[in-house]
Amino acid sequence: MKGYGNFINGKDDFEGKEYQIRSPIDGSIITTGIMGGPEQTRRAIDVAYDAFPKWEKFTLSSRRKILEKLVEIFEERSEEYAVLESRNTGKTMRQSTFMDVNIAAQHIRYFSQTKVFKEKRKIIHPEFPGSYGIVENVPMGVIGAISPWNVPLLMAIWKIVPAILAGNTVVLKPSHYTPLTTFELARDFTKAGLPDGVLNVVNGEGHVVGKELAQSTKIRGLSFTGSTRTGKEVSRNASGTIKKVVMELGGKSPNIVMGDADIEKAAKGIMFGIFLHSGQLCESGSRLMVHKSVKEKLLSTLSGYMEKMRPGNPMDMETDISAITTEDQKRKIEGMVGKAFSEGARADYRKKVKGSVPEGGYYVDPMIMTGISEDMEISREEVFGPVLAVTEFNSEREALDMANNSEYGLAAGIWSEDYRKALRFAGNLKAGTVWINDYHLISAAAPRGGFKNSGIGRELGAEGIYEFTESRHIFVSDKENDLLEMSFGLVNSGD
């Protein structure tokens, strides 16, 4: 059984407490890992700090070449990555193969080729015509990154690749539940030519490793993805330092079906929006808001599609339903569902999985819940599970008010055949990503992040690269200028 140590300065470091990493599919032991502590974390930070002066001098084109080589290595190992991601997270092999790993390769390739990031640009000073400015976007230094357990491979890529492309070094803490593809990625970065120390991965618990990253004065930027509650704790830990913090947090995203929607297409998109990875995605469309005129037809169509969902072993390509990644998360989902039932909610349709899934794994029945009021916890808080809470509306204004009546603002979906109406509606939603007649699709070229309690800052796109740069303005005066002379005269008027 292959074990994983922490990855520091280009090597596996097995110092620390060994623990077993189990698969949520059936509870079996996959491998062993090492729990990092404060000492390992500080060592990784010091290594990244020492590696930065040399790495920042690498040209942008040379950094891109390393990413190009990484794509080649990654694609050669794509099947291995997909198997490991599914076994470690419990998501279906179809999802790992055709979404996570496929998108991961495309996103690395995008950042290896994109020209949207400019290291410098010239500006004109309107006040001083005899001068010009050069604005440089320079790397910050060491970036700390904390990724979640639900999408470990993609989240690691989203945090590492833009940061090192901009010239930063990185210390990343993956979830100790699902660190395996992150460690494989770190090793492949080294094979692709990334210098030792530029990327370091320290496994461990958030209150130990994550706290050390947040409190370190050597770390200039911090990227965190996780729950809003944990995000607040990260902010508190970082508050004693001066560093930039980017956070993508929880969501309670509405999927809004207008009266003129294509019901068949909307039903498929809603299924995809809530049941992909059994709802364990921060932007999952867990609130279904449907116009009263099409509610019954939509629910009937959804029930028909859910009836055809295939439970089974997620490692089987024919299986549709993912496991729940951790036992704690399974208990949380079941607790929130039980509370909703006690408050008067009903199961409009429930897909039973018991007896069809592997023994010893963590599974929750996919479910559509009706009888929901806006004040219920199931309607307000993130379940992070395969539970769809249904409410209805009578007008566009009511739908907009309901959609925005949330402390979250990560994502939303709109289903309508009237694109002008959909675009107008999208422009009034308090959400970082809005899909029209689609859901869950994420482009490397598009900024991703949330409004309100769903986060601050952006990942991906040009914005995701610039987040971890400093802007330096160089003021150049290369011509005689009366305004400049007048300015100097404010303190020297003797001539």
Residue closest to 375 by CA, chosen among 386, 388, 391, 387: 391
Interatomic CA distance for residues 414 and 412, integer angstroms = 7
Q: 239: helix, coil or strand?
A: coil
Interatomic CA distance for residues 284 and 20, integer angstroms = 30
What does DSSP assign to residue 105?
Answer: H
Active site residues: 248, 282
Contact 77, 188 (CB under 8 A): yes
Interatomic CA distance for residues 368 and 353, integer angstroms = 15
Contact 258, 414 (CB under 8 A): yes
CA quadruple 164, 165, 166, 167: dihedral, nearest 10 = 50
Contact 26, 20 (CB under 8 A): no
CB atoms closer than 10 angstroms to residue 471? 9
First-to-last alpha carbon distance for the chain, in angstroms, is 83
Q: Which amino acid is at 96?
A: S
Exposure b/e, 75-92, CB count within 10 A at least 16 = b: beeeeebbbbbbbbbbbb
How is residue 185 written in tokens? 């990625």
For residue 87, CA distances in Å to 295, 323, 357 come to 37, 10, 14
CB atoms closer than 10 angstroms to residue 11? 12
How is residue 219 written in tokens? 């770390």
How is residue 418 written in tokens? 């009237």
Pairing status of strand 367-370 against strand 346-350: antiparallel
Interatomic CA distance for residues 147 and 141, integer angstroms = 19
For residue 65, CA distances in Å to 108, 110, 120, 353, 461 come to 11, 12, 20, 47, 19
- In sequence order, the β-bridge partners of residue 144 are 171, 222
Interatomic CA distance for residues 335 and 437, integer angstroms = 32
How far, rounded to the nearest angstrom, does the alpha carbon of residue 238 sit from its chain's CA centroid? 20
CB atoms closer than 10 angstroms to residue 295? 19
Classify the C-alpha dihedral 414-418-421-423 as positive or negative: positive
Q: 363: helix, coil or strand?
A: coil
